[in-house]
């Protein structure tokens, strides 16, 4: 029980860039995020489990499953509100690497997850995506019915990552 209380009540910011953790992004906050000054696109954000339960409770969250070496962005300079668990976060996590998953898009087809909620910039729910698998190399998610081949002997490895 103590283990679960710790997960809910602490931001992972104290762990720095952990080897692997559950990561979310907030579709509710996404349209109001601060924007990149060159592209005017909202900046992608990584939210840890503790912040998803406390700071973004009641929001529409996109679960990105696990990501490696990602530090929680909740309440940093990308947001218009402070983190409730650790209000003194630094401006940016410069070592975080983001892909299109943080914008609710996946696979080489660059579409949302099947049966997901309509996301900022999309008018409809895409229902034809089917099952998705996360590549162990790039950590992107791929629709298995789009024609990609995975090497099940090595794990969920997208062939395009090693060619």
Distance CA 16, CA 83 (A): 16
Considering only residues 15 and 48, tell me which one the structure prediction assigns the higher pLDDT: 48
Whether residue 95 contacts residue 17, with contact meaning beta carbons closer than 8 Å, is answered with yes
The whole-angstrom separation of Cα 117 and Cα 92 is 28
Q: How do residues 100-119 score in pLDDT, each as one tens digit? A: 888 888 888 887 776 554 44
Per-residue pLDDT at 56: 94
Given a cut of 80, whether residue 155 has pLDDT beyond it is no
* pTM for this prediction: 0.73
Domain ranges in the chain are 1-103, 109-163
Six-digit token string for 73: 């962005």
Question: What is the arithmetic mean of pLDDT over 69-92?
Answer: 87
Inform me whether the pLDDT recorded for 24 exceeds 90.
Answer: yes
The whole-number pLDDT of residue 2 equals: 40
Look at 79 and 132; give whichever has higher pLDDT. Answer: 79
Q: Which of 31-45, 59-73, 126-140 has the highest mean pLDDT?
A: 59-73
What does the H/E/C string look like for the chain?
A: CHHHHHHHHCCHHHHCCCCCEEEEEECCCHHHCCECCCCCCECCCCEEHHHHHHCCCCCCEEEEEEECCCCCCCCCCCCCCCCCCCCCCCCCCCCCCCCHHHHCCECCCCECCCCCCCCCCCCCCCCCCCCEEECCCCCCEEEHHHCCCECCCCCCCEHHHCC
């Amino acid at each position: 029980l103590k283990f679960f209380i710790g997960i809910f009540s602490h931001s992972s910011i104290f762990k720095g860039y952990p080897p692997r953790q559950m990561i979310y992004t907030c579709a509710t906050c996404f349209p109001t995020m601060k924007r990149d000054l060159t592209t005017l696109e909202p900046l992608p954000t990584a939210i840890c489990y503790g912040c998803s339960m406390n700071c973004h409770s009641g929001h529409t969250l996109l679960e990105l499953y696990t990501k490696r070496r990602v530090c929680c962005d909740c309440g940093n300079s990308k947001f218009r509100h402070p983190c409730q668990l650790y209000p003194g976060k630094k401006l940016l996590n410069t070592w975080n690497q983001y892909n299109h998953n943080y914008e609710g898009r996946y696979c080489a087809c660059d579409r949302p997850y099947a049966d997901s909620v309509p996301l900022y910039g999309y008018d409809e729910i895409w229902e034809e995506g089917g099952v998705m698998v996360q590549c162990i190399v790039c950590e992107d998610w791929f629709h298995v019915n789009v024609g990609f081949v995975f090497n099940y002997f090595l794990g969920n490895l997208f062939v395009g990552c090693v060619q």
